[in-house]
Chains A and B, each alone.
Chain A
Amino acid sequence: MERKLFLIILMLCCSLFIAGCWNSREIDQLAFVMGIGLDKTQEGNIKITVQVAKPSTFSKSPSGGSDNEKSFWVASSEGKTIFEAIRNMATFSSRRIFWAHNKVIIIGEKMARDDISEILDFFCRNPELRLRTWIAVTPGEAGKILEREPGMEKDPSSAIENVINQTVWTGKCYRVMLKDFLEDYLSTATYPVAARIVSKDDSSNIKMSGSAVFNQNKLAGWLNEKETRGLLWLKGQLSSSIMVIPCPLDGRPLSIELIGSKADIKSEFDGQIPRFTVDALASGNLSEQACQTDFTNMDNLRKLEKALASAIKDDLESVTKAAQTGIGLDFPGYNHYLHRQHKDRWHELVEKWPGLFKKADIIIHVKAMIPRETLFARPLNPVKHNNVNKIRIEASNEITR
């Protein structure tokens, strides 16, 4: 009994030394990839560009390198496949490339136009890569984006990540994580859309602007900022945006911050042709005005709401137009409503839907509200001595009214 116990313990002790450490890696032996850029070369090879953070520049201690030192390192390698390209990286990287902290995947236009199925397969197959990575497409070369030195952050990828996070305030970019992109990609009826990233030519900064629409595994076309905002409306993902509209009374610009946005889509059939009615409901705050109109006056406010509604309608129509006649794909996802609301007829329609969509009748109604009138201030109006009296008279008129 005791002998057995002794042997068991001895064996366990031995196993400690033979089994251990097989994937133990010290954290300082890793190269943390922060961003990945994927491009297609002239020869048809895949070129992968990684932006790696240099840890020493992230420490606060004085020994952590001079201020002039770049805190990131951009390297690229080529291969026939993504994995080969990545493995080729080991031929010149002094540390093991570690992917789990990757923030953003940027795909170059050439690659996107060609085929992205390989990218998606690799990125969801590899356990080290996360699905919560932002995905963006750039017109031009993706590797160049990662070399842009950001103004505030230490490395470009963190900057891109933060900029993508900031797009919720503008609504001018369709931001999407790899997991959501994959979901759309695998769905039978949805066309995936990714963010569009461009480098601003005049400065070293990058800019999130518009979006990229994919037809299965190929880039089908771009949407501009206006169309993107319309797309976010239709998908119910617009959380905030600024609408600049001309004042209904004197034409000078006003800005309205959207605080609530909702689009209700109903489908019906007009013979064989489906008809969609989009009922959009918007509410916003008046945040800036250049005109001197007094919007505490309800009549003026109603006019303003009308103007806002027509501006929003313009957005929605632009994206619908892009979908029906421009790109020619149902990327806003009207078919989901048809599928849901007309289950019985959907199966006969599904085959011819791409053609049918182009002929579909889409009617857009927008209702805009500017609640919280009580928070309105009158436009600032400096009262000079020579027209004090005029103002007083106006004020008294208002009171009597």
Chain B
Amino acid sequence: MRIWKKAFGWIKPQEKLIFEDKNTDISSDKQPLSANLEINLALLGKLMGEAQDLIIREFSLGHDEHRAAVVLIDGLAEKELVNEQILNPLMLEIRFEIPRGSNELFNRIKKYGIPNTAIKEDYTIDGVINDILTGNTVLLLEGVDRALMISSQGWKDRSISEPITESVVRGPRDGFTETLRTNTTLIRRRIKSPDLRLEGIKIGTRTQTDVVIAYLNGVAKKDVVDEVRTRLESIKIDGVLESGYIEEFIEDRPLSPFPQVERSERPDKVASALLEGRVAILVDTTPFVLMVPTVFFQFIQASEDYYERYYIGSMIRVLRVLALMVSITLPAIYIALTSFHHEMIPTPLALSIASSREAVPFPAVGEALIMGIFFEILREAGIRLPRPTGQAVSIVGALVIGQAAVEAGIVSQAMVIVVALTGISSFAIPAYNAAVAGILLRVPLVILAGFFGLFGILTGLSLILIHLCGLKVFGINYLSIVTSAGEGEYKDFVVRAPWWSMFHRAGRITGKSKKKT
């Protein structure tokens, strides 16, 4: 029993957070600002650990001897902007009488002194440091126990470029970047509606990552939005570096091999999800945006299906369904047929398989597992290696291993064909996470087929189907459309109906099927 717990105990989702750190000095420190500039600056410097990129610029206001200081992080804040909008007006072009009282001075500066769109006040050291760390600039005045925070974010940023993981032949070519603001802009540009709601939330006790919940008010189901908010708020983690962290926290069934949250780096895809009534979760520092609720068949749909004419879009979707089936079952079926049900193969094919398997030392199931593992290793190596080397790997993999292994009689030609077909089919599935999840299903099916033949395959597929039928994502059946469909929902399934015939929004997501407005 103990071994069991040791081996599998981690599977249970933990209520208590492992990462929680009681001794965080940042969150517990609610120390107010002092009226003394020296003390404030010293405290800031101490709390930041005299960071090498921390800039503290002390100066005097105009010709007066009233002391002030700006604090910013080099690289996060745009220095040009600080010079032009803070230092220049306050040092050289000050346009008002400097009053005696320090608080009066602070108010005047806030009112007349700084030509910047976003400024705000804060009273605590903690707030000041948070702002500095997000790239804002802090203005501190001698004799004032408040700080003025001036928006000055401007770090080096990747420009908008074509998404690599989801390229299209036809369709917009912009992709999300690592900057949250750019990403929300890309969505705003597509949906110019006041109903587009962007709710901010910070996740990660140390990373303080900005997360935005985006949805269309009045279209998205309110329960789902609330549920998303609740789940996001209950996340306790020290750091969020990618939306994958959040994906794992908000999944309904963490043990399922099936991905339950769709992700994309295409703004058009996210915009279309919002229009369907789904909720998008944007995370700062990653171009991958999450979309919930997700159903199974979304993984065979690509944004291009909607841009090409509906014949083409539908045909490609049918192909993808085929590719999905092939990628999950083909090796298993091959093994079942060649080791149990020889009578089901047409005679010429049976003879040709038999001839290619002659002198192969392994049983078909072992052959399939070996080749399957080699294929996955090749695929993985191809992804991780730098581009030029990656090509060399594929040449070595395809030619040397494939050809030589067949000629040496270690594997049969038929198996190489089966493995290659399976691998290529899995790449025809647009969602990479779903394609990789296919491996998790393929291997057990191969083993079952090796032991029990078609009976084993059917058992395995039945188990998968039972699991899928029970799966719910944010209150919506994972297999919906197949299991239950509302008005007009079949129009956007394996076959996509033309746009002029799709009047309704899917009721399963929006709560009730209603006409598009």
In the complex, A66 Cα to B338 Cα: how many Å? 26
In the complex, A397 Cα to B360 Cα: how many Å? 80
* A59 CB–B CB distance under 8 Å: yes
Q: Which of B339, B352, B357 contacts A24 (CB 8 A)?
A: B339
Q: Which of B339, B350, B357 contacts A101 (CB 8 A)?
A: B350
A55 with B450, Cβ < 8 A, contacts A24-B340, A98-B342, A100-B342 known = no
Given A27-B339, A58-B348, list of 14 further CB < 8 A pairs?
Answer: A16-B451, A20-B450, A24-B339, A26-B363, A27-B357, A28-B354, A28-B357, A53-B351, A59-B356, A61-B356, A64-B355, A100-B343, A101-B347, A130-B343
Query: Which A residue sits closest to B412, measured CB to CB?
Result: A28
In the complex, A128 Cα to B341 Cα: how many Å? 10
Contact partners of A291 in chain B: CB under 8 A: none
In the complex, A30 Cα to B354 Cα: how many Å? 8
* Chain B residues engaging chain A, CB cutoff 8 angstroms: 1, 4, 338-340, 342-343, 345, 347-348, 350-360, 363-364, 407, 413, 450-453
In the complex, A103 Cα to B347 Cα: how many Å? 9
Q: Which of A2, A26, A32, A103 contacts B351 (CB 8 A)?
A: A32
Question: Are A101 and B343 in contact (CB-based, < 8 A)?
Answer: yes
Question: Are A24 and B453 in contact (CB-based, < 8 A)?
Answer: yes
* A56 CB–B CB distance under 8 Å: yes
Question: Are B350 and A24 in contact (CB-based, < 8 A)?
Answer: no
In the complex, A134 Cα to B351 Cα: how many Å? 20
* A11 CB–B CB distance under 8 Å: no
Interface string of A1-23 (1 = CB under 8 A from B): 01100100000000010011101
In the complex, A101 Cα to B413 Cα: how many Å? 22
Q: Which of B1, B364, B407, B452 contacts A27 (CB 8 A)?
A: B364
Question: Are B351 and A58 in contact (CB-based, < 8 A)?
Answer: yes
- Least Cβ–Cβ distance between B259 and chain A, in angstroms: 25
7 contacts between A and B (CB under 8 A): A24-B363, A27-B354, A58-B351, A58-B354, A101-B342, A101-B347, A103-B347
Chain B contact surface mostly? helix
Contact partners of B453 in chain A: CB under 8 A: 24
A20 with B451, Cβ < 8 A, contacts A59-B356, A101-B343 known = yes
Interface string of A56-86 (1 = CB under 8 A from B): 1111010110000000000000000000000
* A345 CB–B CB distance under 8 Å: no
* A25 CB–B CB distance under 8 Å: yes
Question: Are B343 and A23 in contact (CB-based, < 8 A)?
Answer: no
In the complex, A19 Cα to B359 Cα: how many Å? 27
- Least Cβ–Cβ distance between A115 and chain B, in angstroms: 29
Question: Are A24 and B450 in contact (CB-based, < 8 A)?
Answer: yes
Contact partners of B413 in chain A: CB under 8 A: 61
Chain A, range 35-58, C-beta contacts under 8 Å to B: 53, 55-58
Question: Are A58 and B357 in contact (CB-based, < 8 A)?
Answer: no
Question: Are A25 and B355 in contact (CB-based, < 8 A)?
Answer: no
- Least Cβ–Cβ distance between A69 and chain B, in angstroms: 12
In the complex, A282 Cα to B451 Cα: how many Å? 58
- Least Cβ–Cβ distance between A121 and chain B, in angstroms: 21
Q: Which of B343, B358, B363 contacts A55 (CB 8 A)?
A: B358
Q: Which 4 A-B pairs have the closest CB atoms?
A: A100-B343, A20-B451, A59-B355, A55-B354
- Least Cβ–Cβ distance between B419 and chain A, in angstroms: 17
Contact partners of A24 in chain B: CB under 8 A: 339-340, 363, 450-451, 453
Query: Which A residue sits closest to B363, measured CB to CB?
Result: A26
- Least Cβ–Cβ distance between A100 and chain B, in angstroms: 3
Q: Which of A27, A61, A130 contacts B342 (CB 8 A)?
A: A27
- Least Cβ–Cβ distance between A348 and chain B, in angstroms: 48
Contact partners of A19 in chain B: CB under 8 A: 451-452
Question: Are A56 and B358 in contact (CB-based, < 8 A)?
Answer: yes
In the complex, A24 Cα to B356 Cα: how many Å? 18
